[in-house]
Amino acid sequence: MKQERRLVKVSKEHNEEAQKLLGLMGIPYIIAPTEAEAQCAELAKKGKVYAAASEDMDTLCYRTPFLLRHLTFSEAKKEPIHEIDTELVLRGLDLTIEQFVDLCIMLGCDYCESIRGVGPVTALKLIKTHGSIEKIVEFIESGESNNTKWKIPEDWPYKQARMLFLDPEVIDGNEINLKWSPPKEKELIEYLCDDKKFSEERVKSGISRLKKGLKSGIQGRLDGFFQVVPKTKEQLAAAAKRAQENKKLNKNKNKVTKGRR
């Protein structure tokens, strides 16, 4: 799975094609202002959907009630879909959501590096003992840890990463109405078969399954797109910077919109 994600790069064209396909299928979608996982978690928290589906465990940091993993390839690989209950995770670890976010940041996330030399077991012990990254950094830098292998990244932006998880830029789930509609059969066949050269037999079979699912209230499975997870320090910093800039830009847009009313 990691190798597959590294090979896939999602372009603007891919996004536009996905949106067009969803529209023709009658499946509602939302363009998230920043992180898709954060918006999915917001929809789940507001009861608009049952769960957020993602391979990215960072999704738990946005406190989705439930996270579904392996949704898009479980059938092909004969593997069960994994459902993770965030509240059970927090209770099982005996952590607050803030402490859990700090734990995930310590182990490495999309926005910043991890503390070198600190694995999952040690990170959990440190969080339980000290309660926050600030206290852990203080403990390590004081020399009390007596562990020279632990290395805190230089100019570590853990506070910014924490806020991106705890206060993400999302569209309020209460303002969103997800409405399914019948698939546009003719347009779907033209787009997928004539333009994209898919098998007409398979497309018609898929349309039939989609219509059957709509009648019975069962949503069909969708193949997902995956982004490459930033690995270098520069890429991590760029990801965090983009998220912060997008959040600031959206807040400024909201201010302008309110001022014009």
Q: Would you place residue 221 in the very low, low, confident or very high pLDDT band (cuts 50, 70, 90)?
A: very low
In three-state secondary structure terms, 83 is strand
52-53 and 66-69 strand pairing: parallel
State the pTM of this model: 0.76
CA 85/CA 68 separation, integer angstroms: 9
Pick the closest to residue 182 from 204, 199, 218, 207 (CA basis): 207
DSSP output for 8-75 = ----HHHHHHHHHHHHHHT------SS-HHHHHHHHHHTTSSS-EE-S-GGGGGGT-SEEEESTTTHH
Q: Is pLDDT of 261 > 60? A: no
Taking the domains of the chain in order of start, what are their residue ranges?
36-177
Which neighbouring-strand residues pair with 82?
A: 69
In this predicted model, what pLDDT tens digit does every residue of 63-117 receive, in sequence order? 999 999 988 775 667 778 899 999 999 999 999 999 999 999 999 888 899 999 9
pLDDT in the model for residue 227: 32
Please determine, looking at this structure, whether the domain spanning 36-177 carries the CATH number 3.40.640.10.
no
3-state secondary structure of 134: helix
Pairing of strands 66-69, 82-85: antiparallel
**CA 114, CA 97: separation in Å to the nearest integer?**
18
CA pair distance 54, 68, nearest whole angstrom: 6
Closest Cα partner for 156 from 97, 100, 116, 120? 116
Candidate from 81-85, 127-131, 240-244, 252-256 with smallest mean pLDDT? 252-256
Q: Specify the DSSP element, H or E, that contains 101.
A: helix 97-107
- What's the whole-number average pLDDT of the chain? 85
How does residue 224 score in pLDDT terms, banded at 50, 70 and 90?
A: very low
CA–CA gap between residue 84 and residue 50 (Å, rounded): 12
At which residue do the structure tokens 């037999």 appear? 201
Report how far residue 183's alpha carbon sits from residue 190's, in angstroms, rounded to the nearest whole number.
Answer: 13
Give me the sign of the Cα torsion angle 105, 111, 115, 117: positive
